[in-house]
Every structure is written in C-alpha cells, then in structure tokens.
Amino acid sequence: MNQESANQIFELITNAENIVIVAHKAPDGDSIGSSLALYHFLSALSIDSTVCHPDKAPDFLEWMPGFSDIHTHEESSADVENHLNRADLLICLDFNSPTRVGKMENLLRNFEGKKVMIDHHLNPDLEFFDAYISEPPVCSTAQLIFEFIESQDKLESLNLDCAACIYTGIMTDTGSFRFSSVTSKTHRIGAHLLEIGLDQSKIHERVFDQTTEDQIKLTSYTLLEKLVIKKDLEVAYISLTQEELAKFDAKKGDTEGLVNRALGIKGVKMAVFLKEDVEIVKISFRSKGKIPVNQLAQEHFEGGGHLNAAGGKVVGKMNSALHKLVTILPNFVNKNKATFNEIS
C-alpha cells in the first residue's frame, strides 16, 4: 500500500467533522465488511462516522456487528441525503466510480466535501476523488482496510468487531481463500485476526450455513432443469426468468453462487448466468485461466469487470438475451481459443 496515500487519507479523516462511508449498490460481503470494518476502527479511535449504502444487504450478512447502524437510500432516501449534506468527508469503499451507486449517483456527484476512495476494482475514475488507494491485484477492499490500519500503526485499535468484518470481506471476495488473488499477505492478515481472538469457523457458519428451503429448491431446480452445457465450446450457462424466480420466492442473493456451480463442472472453462428482471436481463460471466470475460461483457453486453468475473445486461426479455448470447458465444470462444486451450 502506498504509504503517502494512506497518510493523506488518514489526515483527511482526522481533520473531518462529519464522515460518511459509502459502498456500491447490490451490497456483498466485501462492501458491507469493509464499510463496517472502517466504521468500527474509526469508532475505536473515538471518530464518529455514518455508513450510508444505496440498498439493503442480503439476509446472510445481517449478523455482522454494526449491521443495524447502516442507513440505506432504498429505505430512507431523505435520511441518507441529510447525512451526505452534513458531511465534509465521503469515504467510498469497494467501488471506484460514481456510476456504481445506483440512485445515489447524483448525491455523490454534487457532494461538496472531500472524496476518498479505497478499492480493488479495475479502471478507477481517479479524477473524481481527492485521495485514493486503488489496488486491483488485492483480493478485497477488506484487506485494504486492514493494510490501511496497519500503515497508520494502529493495529491495537482493531477490535473483534472490526476483525469479524475484515474476515468476512476477505472470505466472501476470495471464495473462502481459494482464488488466485489470495497471497501470503492475505493469510498473514487472517492469522493476525485469529491471534486477537476471532472465531473464524463461526463466521463461515453464519455466512454459508444459512440456506433456506426455497433457496435449496431453487438451486436444485436450476441445476436439474436449466443448466446447459455446450461441450464443444467448453461453456456452460444457466438462465432464470422472472416467473421461475417468483415460483421459488427468490430473494436478493439467492442466486449467488449458481454461476460458480456451472464453472465448477469438469471440462467447463467459462460459465454464464442470466437473470431476468423487469425489462432487463442481468448477466454474470465467470471464467478460468486467462479467458477475458470482461471483454465479452464490455463489447457486447454494456458491462465490464474483472478478467475472470464480469457482468453485463441485455434490455428486453430472456428470449432475446439468450439468443444474443448463443449467437456471440462461438465467435468469442474461437477468438480466444488459445486461452481456452491453455487450461487443462
């Protein structure tokens, strides 16, 4: 981590009167984990801050310490607007452009105080921020929060609440410490958190052992009826219409992980998940090795993301999205045949 940027950010924090912490829309373990970790750390330093997110996190994160202190624009836009109007420092975590906060975009664009970013996504909109830590190779923003605390020599103020949030962020953004973004540093951070007394198996339990009957039935139905494996292309895809989602009373986050199930199939090197919403189909792409699914998302599906994990969309219904996908797939696979063949 760049020591100068970290110092600059810490100075902005100590000089601020009123701090708001924001993260991206459609929250996940890392956006919630990094936001609450910073919130707990600042609180340990007797610095008040308010966490304001665009929308509510999925139920499996509700146990996180400080969760009930999060304000959401979705539930109370006036309240969030008030907090932003009063704030003189905005700390943006786990996203790198004002386009990633949904309906809060204009609030961020019109914000008159200082804006800080701490993030690990590609292609940051650096001009938007007054100070930033942008480290795409790092596995999670939660890891960057740890490194930030460490850079200020303040690890003694990292308490168990903060530790639980950092661990959750790292764990959920790394597929439980398995992705190639995990380094010896990541494990050293995990070791530090355990040394101060974190019960890590409890966190795995709270995050992963929370499946409801509807969720397991939706997963079973999807894998049995909706999984398509194109053996010749080494690609698998799954689609779910609004009707199917409603049948299993699918909630936010219930389809999380389905695309990884498809990618986990032997012989499959790339997986796609299509989810129909009102007048739009959201698409998630996953790949192994060096297959650049972010290019596919960017060139054809109005999206982008990481090399191995990207997202996009098609305006319209599932039929038209599926048609577009199966038309484009063979060309994409052919164009990237070398990267497909590199994977054994």
Residue numbers of the site for Mn ion (CB under 5 A)? Answer: 30, 94, 141, 173
By beta-carbon proximity to Mn ion, the closer residue of 94 and 254 is: 94
- Angle (CA) 321 324 328, round 5°: 140
By beta-carbon proximity to Mn ion, the closer residue of 135 and 173 is: 173
By beta-carbon proximity to Mn ion, the closer residue of 135 and 276 is: 135
Q: How far is the CB of 140 from Mn ion (least distance, A)?
A: 5
Angle between the N-to-C axes of helices 141-151 and 184-195, in degrees from 0 to 180, rounded to the nearest 10: 70
Cβ proximity of 42 and 14 under 8 Å: no
Q: How far apart are CA 7 and CA 93, in angstroms?
A: 17
Q: How far is the CB of 286 from Mn ion (least distance, A)?
A: 15
Give the contacts of 99 (CB within 8 A, at least 6 positions apart): 105, 125
Q: How far apart are CA 250 and CA 246, in angstroms?
A: 6
By beta-carbon proximity to Mn ion, the closer residue of 49 and 140 is: 140
By beta-carbon proximity to Mn ion, the closer residue of 81 and 147 is: 147
Q: How far is the CB of 21 from Mn ion (least distance, A)?
A: 14
Q: How far is the CB of 141 from Mn ion (least distance, A)?
A: 5
Cβ proximity of 258 and 238 under 8 Å: yes
The three-state secondary structure class of 289 is coil
Q: How far apart are CA 65 and CA 31, in angstroms?
A: 14
Give the contacts of 319 (CB within 8 A, at least 6 positions apart): none
Q: How far apart are CA 77 and CA 319, in angstroms?
A: 35
Q: How far is the CB of 32 from Mn ion (least distance, A)?
A: 10
Q: How far is the CB of 212 from Mn ion (least distance, A)?
A: 25
Q: How far apart are CA 267 and CA 274, in angstroms?
A: 21
Report the residue number whose CB is nearest to Mn ion: 30
Burial of 338 (0-12, 13-18, 19+ CB in 10 A): exposed
By beta-carbon proximity to Mn ion, the closer residue of 100 and 115 is: 100
By beta-carbon proximity to Mn ion, the closer residue of 30 and 244 is: 30
